[in-house]
């Protein structure tokens, strides 16, 4: 039985995953039914221009998940499945699609565990928000009661110097970056950014047609000496550098602010992931050290849920006023009901209780992941990792002869999702991989790290699996 697979528009690193997905969809949609014989791994590999081992891995995953079955000496056939959809036109066509299987281990970053969402407390806050009818068009800066609550909360939890007039409610951190880009940037204005850094912020700056100037990162954060004198703004993640996890030292923070004052720079401080801190004494935010020079950006995407699309920025009053004027032209105001629910959730103390509860869970996952990574470092599977003093991910450094794109592709086929850092670099990427533990509990971490270790060992034993692109430069950020 032949089946058409389409890979022309698929990037090379995604082709194995695409083969798996298209074969799985052919089974679940009924284009392939129980008893249909798949091409041999040799024939399909030759037809698609992929290695036979890649197709064999795809078939092995399909067997493990029950979509196909192998018959020794006979071939690979579509398996009988209780709820499988029949081929269209079949008399037994039920019209019911089989469910897409979940990841065996989801180690992607920037995602909190939806199983930890505070359903009861949030429902209570949402019901409180519905005690009165929505007021109609509201404030472009955000609901006044929420701005009061956020100013108090961020001042108490992070030491940010803010009154309600400094706070603008946004559609997550990305909404804050977009508003800042529209307000303070213009075509060809130079923005200094960390390299590696945070691509979502870069996208907002590029939309304003600003020019990004990469600044290297080391163990103390952004290397201030490398800031271009022509920059008009600088974007940084000082309290948990994205993606390396470095924390900007006190001396480096003061040095950055001295340069910003001297060159009249606007400093955009993204307090990335710092609600989950695993050290007793966090660094002072840049905004606290210079409230007139720094714009502070926060979000609830990783602490509560990205589905809420709520974040905020804290800016000097004059700049906040200009941002609000831009906001009024863009989308008038944030959604009222979500804002009102978050205001009630914050002022009732439910936000703090939620953070304490989830911090305990994530701390345990972090400790488990660190133990696994220490073992892999001792075995030589990985070179090192950051200490993960905050946040929901750990960045690991792989041996230079491991082709990261191929590794990610193979993990995808094995049901393990991870994030590459190639898009986090302006220029040649370093040998880094992000492992998130927001979505993965201890057993899923065991699964994911086990697959990572076995895949790296296999790739390093195979000459074809080694990086043919030459030696990748090492990153000095990680130990």
CATH number of the domain bearing residue 166 = 3.40.640.10
Any domain includes 169: yes
Number of neighbouring beta carbons within 10 Å of residue 71? 9
- 378 and 253 within one domain: no
- 357 and 333 within one domain: no
For 342-386, what is each residue's pLDDT tens digit? 999 999 999 999 999 999 999 999 999 999 999 999 999 999 999
The three-class DSSP label of residue 1 is coil
Any domain includes 27: yes
Q: What are phi and psi of 322, to 5 degrees?
A: -65, -40
- 425 and 285 within one domain: no
pLDDT band at 262 (very low <50, low <70, confident <90, very high): very high
* C-alpha to C-alpha distance for 210 and 201, rounded to whole angstroms: 12
Give 318-382 as a DSSP string: HHHHHHHHHHHHHTSS--HHHHHHHHHHHHTTHHHHHHHHHHHHHHHHHHHHHHHHHHHHHHTSS
* C-alpha to C-alpha distance for 287 and 163, rounded to whole angstroms: 13
Helix and strand element counts for the chain (H, E): 14, 16
Q: How many CA atoms lie within 13 A of 32 on its CB side?
A: 25
Strand pairing partners for 194?
215
Q: What is the percentage of the chain residues whose pLDDT exceeds 90?
A: 60
pLDDT band at 14 (very low <50, low <70, confident <90, very high): confident
Any domain includes 264: yes
219: nearest Cα among 189, 251, 190, 187:
251
Q: What total of structural domains would you count in the chain?
A: 3
Any domain includes 413: yes
Domain boundary among 287, 317, 348: 348
For 424-455, what is each residue's pLDDT tens digit? 999 888 888 999 999 999 999 999 999 999 99
- 146 and 244 within one domain: yes
pLDDT band at 273 (very low <50, low <70, confident <90, very high): confident
Residue 467 has pLDDT above 60, yes or no: no
In the prediction, which pLDDT does 97 show?
Answer: 37
DSSP character for 10? S
- 167 and 70 within one domain: no
Tokens of 362: 């994530």
Give 126-164 as a DSSP string: HHHHTTS---SS--TT--HHHHHHHHHHHHHHH-----G
27: nearest Cα among 75, 63, 53:
63
Strand pairing partners for 425?
none
Any domain includes 370: yes
- 427 and 390 within one domain: yes
pTM: 0.76
The interaxial angle of helices 442-461 and 350-379, nearest 10 deg, is 30
Q: Which residues contact 215 (CB under 8 A, 6 or more apart)?
A: 192, 193, 194, 195, 222, 223, 226, 227, 228, 234
* C-alpha to C-alpha distance for 164 and 151, rounded to whole angstroms: 6
* Degrees, nearest 5: CA angle 180-181-182: 90
pLDDT band at 462 (very low <50, low <70, confident <90, very high): low
In 41-179, which ranges are E strands?
68-71, 75-78, 105-106, 167-170
Tokens of 33: 């039914």
- 357 and 257 within one domain: no
Q: Which CATH number goes with the domain that contains 461?
A: 3.90.1150.10
In the prediction, which pLDDT does 185 show?
Answer: 95
- The conformational region for residue 110 under phi > 0 = left, psi -120 to 50 = alpha, else beta, is left
Residue 288 has pLDDT above 90, yes or no: yes
- The conformational region for residue 347 under phi > 0 = left, psi -120 to 50 = alpha, else beta, is alpha
Q: Which domain holds residue 446?
A: 353-465
- 402 and 382 within one domain: yes
Q: How far lies 74's CA from each of 68, 77, 372, in Å?
A: 13, 9, 40
Q: How far lies 151's CA from each of 155, 318, 344, in Å?
A: 6, 17, 14
- 264 and 233 within one domain: yes
The three-class DSSP label of residue 441 is coil
- 185 and 320 within one domain: yes
* Residue indicated by tokens 């001396």: 251
Any domain includes 470: no
Domain boundary among 330, 348, 366: 348
- 365 and 286 within one domain: no
143: nearest Cα among 152, 134, 154:
134
- 232 and 374 within one domain: no
Any domain includes 89: yes
In the prediction, which pLDDT does 168 show?
Answer: 97
Most confident region among 41-45, 85-89, 181-185 by mean pLDDT: 181-185
Q: Which CATH number goes with the domain that contains 63?
A: 1.10.10.10
The interaxial angle of helices 15-28 and 404-413, nearest 10 deg, is 20
Strand pairing partners for 436?
393
Residue 66 has pLDDT above 60, yes or no: yes
Q: What are phi and psi of 17, to 5 degrees?
A: -65, -40
| Mean pLDDT, all residues of the chain | 87
* C-alpha to C-alpha distance for 227 and 170, rounded to whole angstroms: 28
Cβ atoms of 479 and 423 within 8 Å: the answer is no
């Amino acid at each position: 039985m032949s089946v058409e697979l389409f890979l022309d528009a698929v990037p090379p690193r995604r082709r194995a995953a695409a083969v798996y997905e298209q074969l799985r969809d052919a089974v679940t949609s009924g284009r392939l039914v129980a008893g249909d014989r798949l091409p041999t791994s040799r024939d399909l590999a030759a037809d698609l221009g992929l290695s036979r081992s890649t197709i064999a891995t795809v078939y092995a995953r399909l067997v493990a998940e029950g979509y196909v079955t192998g018959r020794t000496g006979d071939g690979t056939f579509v398996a009988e499945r209780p709820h499988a959809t029949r081929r269209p036109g079949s008399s037994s066509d039920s019209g019911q699609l089989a469910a897409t299987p979940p990841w065996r281990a989801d180690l992607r970053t920037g995602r909190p565990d939806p199983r930890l969402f505070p359903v009861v407390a949030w429902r209570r806050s949402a019901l409180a928000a519905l005690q009165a009818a929505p007021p109609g068009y509201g404030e472009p800066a955000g609901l006044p009661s929420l701005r009061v609550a956020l100013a108090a909360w961020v001042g108490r939890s992070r030491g940010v110097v803010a009154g309600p007039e400094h706070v603008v409610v946004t559609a997550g951190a990305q909404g804050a970056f977009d508003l800042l880009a529209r307000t303070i940037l213009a075509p060809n204005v130079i923005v200094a950014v960390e390299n590696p850094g945070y691509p979502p912020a870069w996208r907002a700056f590029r939309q304003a047609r600003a020019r990004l100037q990469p600044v290297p990162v080391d163990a103390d954060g952004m290397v201030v000496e490398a800031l271009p004198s022509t920059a008009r703004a600088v974007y940084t993640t000082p309290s948990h550098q994205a993606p390396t996890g470095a924390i900007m030292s006190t001396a480096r923070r003061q040095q950055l602010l001295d340069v910003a004052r001297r060159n009249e720079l606007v400093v955009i401080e993204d307090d990335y992931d710092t609600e989950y801190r695993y050290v007793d004494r966090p660094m002072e935010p840049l905004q606290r050290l210079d409230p007139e020079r720094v714009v502070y950006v926060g979000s609830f995407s990783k602490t509560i849920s990205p589905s809420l699309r709520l974040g905020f920025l804290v800016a000097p009053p004059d700049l906040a006023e200009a941002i609000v004027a831009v906001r009024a032209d863009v989308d008038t105001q944030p959604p009222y009901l979500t804002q009102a629910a978050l205001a009630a959730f914050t002022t009732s103390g439910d936000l703090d209780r939620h953070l304490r509860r989830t911090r305990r869970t994530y701390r345990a996952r972090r400790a488990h992941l660190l133990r696994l990574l220490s073992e892999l470092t001792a075995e030589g599977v990985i070179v090192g990792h950051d200490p993960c003093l905050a946040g929901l991910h750990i960045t690991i450094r792989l041996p230079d002869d491991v082709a990261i794109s191929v590794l990610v592709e193979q993990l995808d086929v094995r049901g393990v999702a991870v994030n590459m850092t190639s898009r986090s670099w302006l220029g040649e990427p370093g040998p880094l991989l992000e492992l998130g533990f927001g979505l993965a509990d201890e057993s899923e971490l065991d699964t994911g790290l086990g697959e990572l270790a076995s895949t790296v060992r296999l790739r390093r034993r195979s000459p074809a699996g080694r990086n043919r692109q030459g030696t990748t430069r090492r990153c000095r950020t990680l130990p």
